[in-house]
Amino acid sequence: MLILISCLLLFVTTLALVLLRVLQPNARYAWLVAAGGALLAMISVFVWLTQMPFDLILPAWQPVTLFMTPILFRADGVSWVLAMSVVALTLSVMLTSVTRQVFVNSLSWAGMLALGGMGILAATANNPLTLLLVWASVDLIELFSQLSSVEGEANNERVVISFSTRAFGIGLLIWANILSIAGGSTFDFQSMPANAGIFLVIAAGLRLGVYPLHLPYSAESVLRRGFGTGLRLVGAAASLSVLGHVQILPTNFTPFLIFLAIVAAIYGGWMWLRAPDELNGRPYWVIGVSSLAILSALSGNPIGVAAWSSALVLVGGALFLASVQNQWLNRAMLVGAWSLSSLPFSLTAGAWLGSLGWFLPLVVVAQGLIVAGFVRHALRPAGRDSLESQPGWTRIAHPAGIGLLLVFQLLLGWVGWDGALQVGAWLQAIIASLLTVGLVWAARRFRVFNPVRAHWVTTAESRLNSLYQGFWSLYRGLARISQAIIVTLEGEGGVMWTLLFLVLFISLLSQGIR
């Protein structure tokens, strides 16, 4: 019931903002309504700790022969940390929105609150049917948001292609459910067979751009800070949430998936390190950190999945929402480097409790690149507005929104979930930290590490997707041929062609009978 309360607080607040926008478009207290609803939802998620673990089972759908499993949610020591991260990001977006030019846009606040509610449902979804419905809802929110924010046929086509890849990931989730039913398990993720778990990994990787390596959205997206940040990070967390519920057993295919995930992590880390600013590099942040979460899943460590997923939301959220310059806040942002380091008692301390074998050195390199890129972007305040020009109350609200995410990064390393108070693989963490220090030092002295202009990011993005554009061109060519055949058969000569094909078909059958 507590899960339902947390989500309803966000959804009811969303509805209230929409009604205010229609009935009182100039209402000055809309922001207070949005921030208040997000704050109450965050408090309610904290209350979960008093009753965990617990389940929320909705009435079964009819007919039972078709829907053999009910809508099922579960709050436990793994799902709680991701739900907490999502609701903290939601509140932070509300608090930091006071410094932006679109401060009065209550529709974007309503969208973020609804997205936060869907993120909580994704974090706690405990069977394929439930997660399928949540994924589809998040994908539709992203589809409509992207189509309303881009212009031109090419950009619209890319949005549809991105939506199609996510739909294919949902198809893999359905296939995993079919395998689970065939194996006699139909209730929850914990009882799914090992062969179904691999399809869940591929489904999450496909939605995040890891399998195969591709950018799920453009680096030039109009959706920047605020709702744009929430859309990217909550969407990624929703895709990774499935991996925190299942124990992925090694198969013959696992080393190949690990290798591909490492390639994606190193590529994402390198591009993230050299990006001109944090917003242009955001797609590579998502790919890099998501790849580390998938590697944790493939090593049999659901706690690591939850740790990297939470770091993706909390650390990335603090960086991408910091739109104003503040000396103390810029320094405090380095808490994120601690959270990403996997050092004892940090947020990601339990990230590498599984076994990766001889792939481990490459994983350390990928982690070092990602942390070094974060440090570089956190210490680069250029291009940000000054907080001094803002009204007095906004000077408190904005730092409070960023500070909230920083506090949660430290807090979740100690209390609340199964990954708290972990020593972890401390030797690996120390090596990754030393590599990070070396990369930050080298970045100031060697040109190869220097940030490049924004058009370089677009060029690299085009190169990465050129292969997939070739396949898409082939598909469109086949579609034109198919359309030409349909037009021919449906035109004035369609009857003649139909009779001709019928005669040929009968003649072939008669020859076969002889």
409 or 165: which leads in pLDDT? 409
For 61, left (φ over 0), alpha (ψ -120 to 50), or beta?
beta
What pLDDT does residue 455 have?
Answer: 45
**Can you say how many angstroms the Cα of residue 205 is from the centroid of all Cα atoms in its chain?**
10
**Can you say how many angstroms the Cα of residue 437 is from the centroid of all Cα atoms in its chain?**
28
Least confident of 294-308, 363-377, 447-461: 447-461
What pLDDT does residue 89 have?
Answer: 95
Joined together, the tokens standing for residue 28 give 């000055």
What pLDDT does residue 470 have?
Answer: 56
* Confidence label for 276 from pLDDT (cuts 50, 70 and 90): confident
For 383, left (φ over 0), alpha (ψ -120 to 50), or beta?
left
What pLDDT does residue 374 have?
Answer: 93
Q: What are the DSSP calls for 145-213, one per residue?
A: HHHHH--SHHHHHHHHHHHHHHHHHHHHHHHHHHHHHHTT--S-GGG--HHHHHHHHHHHHHHHTTTTT
pLDDT (tens digit per residue) in 433-454: 999 999 988 877 777 766 655 4
327 or 115: which leads in pLDDT? 115
**Over 70: is that where the pLDDT of 219 sits?**
no
> What integer best gives the mean pLDDT of the chain?
81
What pLDDT does residue 444 have?
Answer: 78
Q: What are the DSSP calls for 228-278, one per residue?
A: HHHHHHHHHHHHHGGGGT------TTHHHHHHHHHHHHHHHHHHHHH-SST
pLDDT (tens digit per residue) in 77-87: 899 999 999 99
Domain boundaries, the chain: 2-382+394-452
What pLDDT does residue 387 have?
Answer: 60
What pLDDT does residue 286 have?
Answer: 93
What 3-state DSSP class applies to 325?
strand
Joined together, the tokens standing for residue 12 give 């009811």
Length of the chain as a residue count: 514
Specify which residues 72 forms β-bridges with.
Answer: 57
**Over 80: is that where the pLDDT of 490 sits?**
no
**Over 70: is that where the pLDDT of 472 sits?**
no
What is the pTM (predicted TM-score) of this model?
Answer: 0.85
Q: Which residue bears the tokens 């072939």?
A: 508
Return d(Cα 4, Cα 124) in angstroms, integer. Answer: 11
**Over 50: is that where the pLDDT of 115 sits?**
yes
**Over 70: is that where the pLDDT of 463 sits?**
no
CA distances from 146 to 56, 119, 232, 317 (A): 32, 18, 11, 20
Least confident of 38-52, 107-121, 215-229, 321-335: 215-229
Count CB atoms within 10 A of the CB of residue 366.
26
Least confident of 259-263, 325-329, 460-464: 460-464
Least confident of 22-26, 182-186, 210-214, 486-490: 486-490
